[in-house]
């Protein structure tokens, strides 16, 4: 399987805690984007990583941070969790520049209680 | 700023009937527009993009810059078309997508 894989699939955290979500990109893709999809909404861009550097960021506070590793996999970290952080977090991998198709993972369902 | 609007959250049509899912956008530059689809229990996947001008699974979408629209159309809906459809915009030079809120299409047998 060379598609985008995310882990874990589900998790429950308590308000104020920290969480790390993981993503392995599609083979050959060196760009990873993270999206938050709240219930009933479309995916909303959090940030993108390319060559281990943040390469664009949406309207999310600094407590949302990320990493990209040399093998192009990525982590999304969220500190000081709030109830409104409950959502499906999607990872998408692509190649940079030009017209490109983003391949999405199945997502991680985060519930903050 | 950019915005993607899908006015219908839910759309139901009978099998064999034409279907049109609406998408309007606002963006001052030259956007690239996409339709993504999510079938039940599957991941979000690209259906088509405007620059390809192709028909995928019988669906077409034409970018109308005058009306700032990118409506998705299919002349004869099939049951397997039932899914969640998202319109998305990519700004020129960017590599991230702005999504609409989605339309859930149900094709009634």
Q: Which residues of B touch A (CB under 8 A)?
A: 4, 6, 9, 32, 43-46, 49, 51, 86, 88, 94-102
Q: Which residues of A touch B (CB under 8 A)?
A: 4, 31, 33, 35, 40-45, 48, 50, 55-56, 58, 90, 94, 96-97, 99-107
Helix (H, G, I), strand (E, B) or coil at A105: coil
Query: A44, B99: Cβ pair inside 8 Å?
Result: yes
- Which residues in B lie closer than 8 A to residue A43 (C-beta atoms)? 44, 86, 97, 99
Distance CA B7, CA B59 (A): 19
CA distances from B89 to A27, A58, A92, A94, A101 (A): 25, 14, 15, 16, 12
Distance CA B41, CA A93 (A): 20
**Is A52 within 8 Å of A12 (Cβ atoms)?**
no
Q: Which helix (H) or strand (E) holds A79?
A: none
Helix (H, G, I), strand (E, B) or coil at B25: strand
Q: What is the DSSP string of B45-81?
A: EEEEEGGG---BTTBEE--BTTTTB--EEESS--GGG
B72, pLDDT greater than 50:
yes
The terminus-to-terminus CA distance of chain B in angstroms comes to: 41
Chain Cα centroid distance, residue A65: 10
A25 vs B106, which has greater pLDDT? B106
∠ CA(A23), CA(A28), CA(A34), 5° rounding? 30
From the list B34, B65, B31, B68, the residue with the least C-alpha distance to B48 is: B34
Q: Note the pLDDT tens digit of each residue in A65-82.
A: 999 999 999 999 999 999
Return the residue of A nearest to B5 by Cα.
A42
Q: Note the pLDDT tens digit of each residue in A87-110.
A: 999 999 988 654 467 889 999 999
How many other β-carbons are positioned within 10 Å of the β-carbon of residue A58?
16
Lowest mean pLDDT among A4-13, A40-49, A90-99, B29-38: A90-99
Q: In Å, how far is B79's CA from the nearest CA of chain A?
A: 23
A1, pLDDT greater than 50:
no
Distance CA B43, CA B82 (A): 14
Q: Which helix (H) or strand (E) holds A38?
A: none
């Amino acid at each position: 399987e060379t598609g985008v894989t995310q882990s874990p699939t589900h998790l429950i955290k308590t308000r104020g805690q920290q969480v790390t979500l993981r993503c392995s990109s599609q083979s050959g893709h060196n760009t990873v984007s993270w999206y938050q999809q709240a219930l009933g909404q479309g995916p909303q861009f959090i940030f993108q990583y390319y060559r281990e550097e943040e390469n664009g960021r949406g309207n999310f506070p600094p407590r949302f941070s990320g990493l990209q590793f040399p093998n192009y996999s990525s982590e999304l970290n969220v500190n000081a969790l709030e109830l409104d952080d409950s959502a499906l977090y999607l990872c998408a991998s692509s190649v940079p520049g030009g017209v490109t198709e983003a391949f999405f993972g199945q997502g991680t369902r985060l519930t903050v209680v | 700023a950019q915005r993607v609007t899908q006015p219908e959250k839910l759309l139901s049509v009978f099998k064999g009937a034409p279907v049109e899912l609406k998408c309007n956008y606002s963006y001052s530059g030259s956007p690239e527009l996409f339709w993504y689809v999510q079938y039940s229990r599957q991941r979000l996947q690209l259906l088509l993009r405007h620059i390809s001008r192709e028909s995928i699974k019988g669906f077409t979408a034409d970018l109308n810059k005058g009306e700032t629209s990118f409506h998705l159309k299919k002349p004869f809906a099939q049951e397997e078309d039932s899914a969640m459809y998202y319109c998305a915009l990519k700004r020129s030079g960017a590599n991230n997508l702005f999504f609409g809120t989605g339309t859930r299409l149900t094709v009634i047998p």
